[in-house]
Chain A
Amino acid sequence: MNLAKLREKIAFTILGLSTLFVILPIFAIVFYIVKNAIGVISWDFILDIPRNGMREGGIYPAIVGTIYLVLGTILFSLPLGIMAAIYLVEYANDNFFTKLVKVSIVNLSGIPSIVYGLFGMALFVIFLKFGTSILSGCLTLSIMSLPLIITATKEALDAVPFSFREISLSLGATKWQTIRYCVLPYALPGILTGTVLSLSRSAGETAPILFTVAAFYLPRLPRSIFDQVMALPYHLYVISTQIPNMPLRLSFATAFVLIVLVFLMNLVNVILRIQFRKKKQW
Chain B
Amino acid sequence: MCIRKLKESVIEFFIKISGFIIILFVFLIFLFLLKDTVLLFKDFTFKEFIFGKRWLPISEPPHFGIIPLLLGSLYVTFFATIICVPVGIASALFIAEIAPKFLRNILKSFIEILASIPSVVLGFIGIVWLGPFLKDTLKLNTGMCGLTGSFLLAFMSLPTIISISEDAIISVPKSFKEAAFGLGATRWQTLWRVVLPSASSGIIAAIMLGIDRVIGETMVVMMVTGNAPLVPKSILQPLRTLTATIAGEMGEAISGSEHYFALFAVGLILFIITFIINFLSVLLLNRSKK
Residue numbers of A with Cβ under 8 A of B are 4-5, 7-8, 11-12, 14-16, 18-19, 21-23, 25-26, 29, 32-33, 80, 83-84, 86-88, 90-92, 97-98, 100-101, 103-119, 121-123, 126-127, 143, 146, 150, 174-177, 200-201, 203-207, 210-211, 233-234, 236-237, 240-241, 248, 251-252, 255, 258-259, 262-263, 265-266, 270
Contact = CB atoms under 8 A, between A and B. Distances in A.
B123 A123 contact: no
Contacts of A205: 118
Given A104-B26, A119-B33, A262 B90 contact: no
Nearest to B227: A241
Interface residues of B, number: 84
Interface of B is mostly: helix
Contact of B158 (A22, A86, A91, A234): A22
Interface in B221-242: 223
B20 to A, nearest CB: 8
A112 B192 contact: no
Given A84-B18, A103-B279, A174-B8, A23 B107 contact: yes
B264 A122 contact: yes
28 contacts: A8-B187, A29-B117, A87-B16, A91-B15, A97-B19, A101-B19, A101-B23, A110-B216, A112-B216, A112-B218, A113-B216, A115-B33, A115-B246, A117-B247, A118-B250, A119-B33, A203-B118, A204-B121, A206-B218, A207-B218, A207-B243, A210-B247, A233-B121, A237-B123, A241-B223, A259-B121, A262-B116, A270-B109
B189 A106 contact: no
B33 A104 contact: no
Contact of B113 (A92, A143, A266): A266
A210 B250 contact: yes
Interface in B122-155: 122-125, 127-129, 155
A181 to B, nearest CB: 12
B282 A123 contact: no
Given A21-B87, A29-B125, A237-B123, A266 B279 contact: no
Contact of A118 (B20, B251, B263): B263
B277 A25 contact: no
B255 interface: yes
B178 interface: no
Contact of B94 (A16, A206, A233): A16
A177 B216 CA distance: 42
